[in-house]
């Protein structure tokens, strides 16, 4: 399966030794082990921090040898991680809950998005027919990136909250980007869930309209009943426990990247990304989309208090309704085992230590 993936970058481990304050662990990874991070769509703005960290040289800065692997669907990326093909995944936090229900142990080590950044779009010719998710009753073909993807989980959660029977929601895999746009042009689906920059492309071409917007916290809570943390860095618990220094290096890079995002304008962020990431919609549209949804990023990258429970509650009705979860298994979920803030807590001091050292070196040169 991994042979068909698009490997986008390999970064050499840094030989830089970091000076830290007394009592802090070194932020440099212990060895040159290659860490493959598979991301459920690298060109999507919801996953922008992974490529930005590479563009800024932050993986190297914190001594980790990272290879980013592109996979259109988060569910497939998670499956590759479970199979051992990659060490970490860039995907939605909800997969960690799902894996626990399936009897596997995975956990998030950093949360990058406070809300999903997803939008449910419907075809332009259906605007008078589908005015809310409740209008899916009677049957609707709903586009998702993959059957095991978060877009599928969330779409069904939206439908369940609106009272739509599971039998009326027909999930159709249409991916993202060009394949998503083609599905709208060919009328393969009635509606579909996607992210920027595909949202802008659909709207620019007058192919669809926004039915449900999950880019902002208040709109997400209205659609799902709960807030819904999304993009995170996660891995199998056994691997994380066996490689704490490597995980720490990745989390440090993410923490520094998110601070950089917070301190820079959408234009500056876009200009730091590869040009082909915004070629389809143009730089201006890409920047405008990022301006509108920059609020979705989570600068501190901690799991907010109560957020994991919100994700579980938002999903459970839809997931039980279409048979992938049972009430008993939901009741048995140990949410504390699906995430840890320990690496983020370390990153706060270690990243500051790196910057202090770098500033000192510049001042003395």
Both 104 and 243 in a single domain? yes
CB 96 within 8 A of CB 108: yes
Interacting residues of 6 by C-beta distance below 8 A, sequence separation 6+? 69, 70
CATH of the domain at 128: 3.40.190.10
Both 47 and 151 in a single domain? no
pLDDT score at 79: 87
CB 230 within 8 A of CB 46: yes
User: Across-strand partners of 345?
Assistant: none
Among 198, 223, 248, identify where a domain stops: 223
Both 98 and 169 in a single domain? no
Report cis status (omega within 30 of 0) of the bond before 197: yes
pLDDT score at 363: 62
- How large is the average pLDDT for residues 24-29? 46
Q: How far is CA 248 from the centre of its chain?
A: 19
Global model pTM greater than 0.85? yes
Both 76 and 123 in a single domain? no
> Does 189 have pLDDT greater than 80?
yes
Q: Do β-strands 106-111 and 88-92 pair in parallel, antiparallel, or remain unpaired?
A: unpaired
Both 336 and 358 in a single domain? yes
Q: Write the pLDDT tens digit of every residue in 38-82.
A: 998 899 999 999 999 999 999 999 999 999 999 866 567 888 899
pLDDT score at 22: 25
The tokens for 344 are 């983020």
Among 196, 223, 250, identify where a domain stops: 223
pLDDT score at 75: 65
Both 53 and 154 in a single domain? no
> Which range marks the domain in which residue 56 is found?
2-115+229-364
pLDDT score at 265: 97
Any long-range contacts for 15-21 (C-beta under 8 Å, 24+ apart)? 16/61, 16/63, 18/62, 18/63, 18/350, 18/353, 18/354, 18/357, 19/353, 19/357, 20/349, 20/350, 20/353, 21/349, 21/353
> In whole numbers, what is the pLDDT of the chain averaged over residues?
88
Which helix (DSSP H) or strand (DSSP E) does residue 246 occupy? Answer: helix 244-263
Both 304 and 282 in a single domain? yes
pLDDT score at 218: 81
Among 169, 189, 223, identify where a domain stops: 223
Both 214 and 320 in a single domain? no
> Does 261 have pLDDT greater than 90?
yes
């Amino acid at each position: 399966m991994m042979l068909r993936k698009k490997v986008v970058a390999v970064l050499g481990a840094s030989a830089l030794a970091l000076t830290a304050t007394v009592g802090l662990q070194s932020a440099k990874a212990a060895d040159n082990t290659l860490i493959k991070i598979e991301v459920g769509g690298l060109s999507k703005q919801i996953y922008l921090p992974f490529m930005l960290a590479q563009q800024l040289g932050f993986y190297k800065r914190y001594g980790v040898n990272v290879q980013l692997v592109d996979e259109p669907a988060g569910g497939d990326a998670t499956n590759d991680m479970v199979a051992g093909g990659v060490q970490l995944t860039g995907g939605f936090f909800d997969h960690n809950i799902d894996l626990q229900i399936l009897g596997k142990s995975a956990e998030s080590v950093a949360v990058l998005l406070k809300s999903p950044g997803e939008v449910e779009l419907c075809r332009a010719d259906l605007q008078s027919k589908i005015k809310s998710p409740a209008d899916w009753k009677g049957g609707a073909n709903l586009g998702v990136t993959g059957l095991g993807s978060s877009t599928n989980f969330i779409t069904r959660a939206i439908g369940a909250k609106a009272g739509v029977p599971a039998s009326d929601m027909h999930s159709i895999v249409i991916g993202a980007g060009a394949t998503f746009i083609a599905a709208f042009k060919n009328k393969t689906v009635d509606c579909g869930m996607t992210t920027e920059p595909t949202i802008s492309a659909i709207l620019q071409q007058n192919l669809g309209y926004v039915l449900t917007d999950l880019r902002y916290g208040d709109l997400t809570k209205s659609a799902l009943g709960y807030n819904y943390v999304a993009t995170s860095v996660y891995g199998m618990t056994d691997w994380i426990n066996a490689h704490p220094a490597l995980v720490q290096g990745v989390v440090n890079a993410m923490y520094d990247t998110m601070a950089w995002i917070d301190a820079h304008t959408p234009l500056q962020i876009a200009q730091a990304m590869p040009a082909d990431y915004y070629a389809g919609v143009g730089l201006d549209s890409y920047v405008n989309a990022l301006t509108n949804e920059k609020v979705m990023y989570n600068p501190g990258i901690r799991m907010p208090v109560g957020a994991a429970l919100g994700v579980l509650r938002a999903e459970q009705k839809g997931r039980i309704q279409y048979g992938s979860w049972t009430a008993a298994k939901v009741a048995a979920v140990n949410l504390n085992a699906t995430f840890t803030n320990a690496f983020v807590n370390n990153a706060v001091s270690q990243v500051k230590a790196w910057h202090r050292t770098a500033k000192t070196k510049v001042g003395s040169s």
